Structure 1
């Protein structure tokens, strides 16, 4: 391997590409042509002798090597910035970056979303990638399997609840079981979503018949359809029912655990520690009822099986 060909320019360009996973948008940010960026990434891949990204249909995804390269490039940029700050006697300008999904931002992290915190919005896979590549200092996600290469700090675990109109007969019960969902018309996410897959698996295992009311993406739209009495919705317990709706815990579905995610060795980093402190304060101020993460069974490491409902919902 000719390491003299490993240019800092190519590394910096690849870090921008890793942010977007789109050559057109990355090239625009770098103020270069798309073919020029393609050449930089291709030559970097050839120098390392490893593919840096894969194409899945029309979507691009980083390989494990690509994640390592992006993390190294960002670390190199941070060290260079700190060095120049020392040379010029200027104050460090690092900004904490948080990655999470729609549900976490809407129902868990409201007090953390403020000026001075850079935000990345994406599903669980994108959140994990943002942490692995160093793009995010901290991520928040629901996990069914604990990653081996990332520190996962338990935050809270929430029960699964059925959201239904205030005047529905099931509201007379303090809590529900899957059997209470028999023959119900349910509002569910699209088929490929983890919440839909896990819910169907649990209902099938319990031999509970049900019908599809409507497919909806995200908790807000599911709650909107429930308000219109289109059907009933199973959501995470951190999602407060709007006026006119009531939530009842389904006691034979396992709790949904949220974790804070960061790279090993960064627990004492002021950016990571500061975000964690703010998140815990935000969780204490939310009206949601959670199950203590210390009393919940933690998800397995990658080699273990996953719980049927532990990955439910838009994290």
Structure 2
């Protein structure tokens, strides 16, 4: 390993590249040419002796080593900024970054975020993203914490359960399944369902459960976010299986679904993250939200 090639300048450039995973946009932010950025990233990878990214189809994806480098570079920059701030006798201003999806912000984290921002408005910065982007942000150090429903718990990160909800079926009033009591999965045979896009954890788990029961169904529409999914049900587009924290809109009833496991939101962070008292404090507040 050539330590001379692992310069602060190279690490700073790699962080920008890791944020965009696009040489054109990253070079524009750094105000250098795209070939120059290629050279910087290439020399950094050569100095470390490991590939830092690879191409999957048209997308660039960080390798595990690339995620580690980005995480180290961000932590180094944060420590340096904090040292310089304290050295100058000022109060550190760098916020804790929380990454989560729409559902977590709408139905889970609102009171905690309001309280934190009331106490110290500069303490928290929020990132809205899906679960894959959340995991990438935590792995690369772009976010200190993440909250999401996960189909598979990450082995390299600490994941703590925050809240668990039953799965509910949204049905328009007057529908044949608009009746008291739980709905069994076989009763969904032949229905049109409003579902999240493919590869979302909720969609994956729902498809697996329906397949296991031999239930044939069709996609009425793919929708991003619980409010839009609920609105499509209210319009009569189809039925939807949703997390139990989602309120039913007017004209729609929520029925428990038998045979589906409850859904758990997890708080995710690096194993070493709680060494930062700011992060540890936010974790404590999220877990004590009730």
Same fold (TM over 0.5): yes
Secondary structure of the structure 1 residue equivalent to 2:258 = coil
Aligned residue for 2:91?
91
Aligned residue for 2:166?
159
Question: 1:17 deviation in Å?
Answer: 1.4
Deviates more, 1:180-189 or 1:230-239: 180-189
Question: Which of 147, 159, 169 does residue 154 from structure 2 map onto?
Answer: 147
Name the TM-score, length of structure 2 as normaliser: 0.89
Compute the RMSD of aligned alpha carbons: 2.0
Question: 1:242 deviation in Å?
Answer: 1.2
- Specify every segment of 5 or more residues in structure 2 that has no aligned partner in the other structure, as ranges: none
Runs of 4+ displaced beyond 4 Å:
none
Secondary structure of the structure 2 residue equivalent to 1:149 = coil
Question: Which of 173, 181, 184 does residue 174 from structure 1 map onto?
Answer: 181
Q: Following the alignment from structure 1 to structure 2, what is the Cα–Cα distance between the partners of residues 60 and 98?
A: 24
Name the TM-score, length of structure 1 as normaliser: 0.83
Secondary structure of the structure 2 residue equivalent to 1:54 = strand
* 2:137 counterpart of 1:130: yes
Question: 1:268 deviation in Å?
Answer: 4.7
Deviates more, 1:117-126 or 1:231-240: 117-126
Q: Following the alignment from structure 1 to structure 2, what is the Cα–Cα distance between the partners of residues 33 and 176?
A: 59
Q: Are the aligned partners of 1:68 and 1:133 in contact in 2 as well (CA < 8 Å)?
A: yes
Q: Are the aligned partners of 1:10 and 1:44 in contact in 2 as well (CA < 8 Å)?
A: yes
Aligned residue for 2:38?
38
Q: Following the alignment from structure 1 to structure 2, what is the Cα–Cα distance between the partners of residues 279 and 177?
A: 34
Q: Are the aligned partners of 2:194 and 2:222 in contact in 1 as well (CA < 8 Å)?
A: yes
Q: Following the alignment from structure 1 to structure 2, what is the Cα–Cα distance between the partners of residues 6 and 204?
A: 50
Question: 1:192 deviation in Å?
Answer: 4.2
Deviates more, 1:269-278 or 1:198-207: 269-278
Q: Are the aligned partners of 2:96 and 2:279 in contact in 1 as well (CA < 8 Å)?
A: yes
Aligned residue for 2:250?
243
Which structure is richer in relative contact order (CA contacts within 8 A, separation 6 or more)? 1
Aligned residue for 1:311?
none
Distance 1:145 1:196, change over 3 A: closer
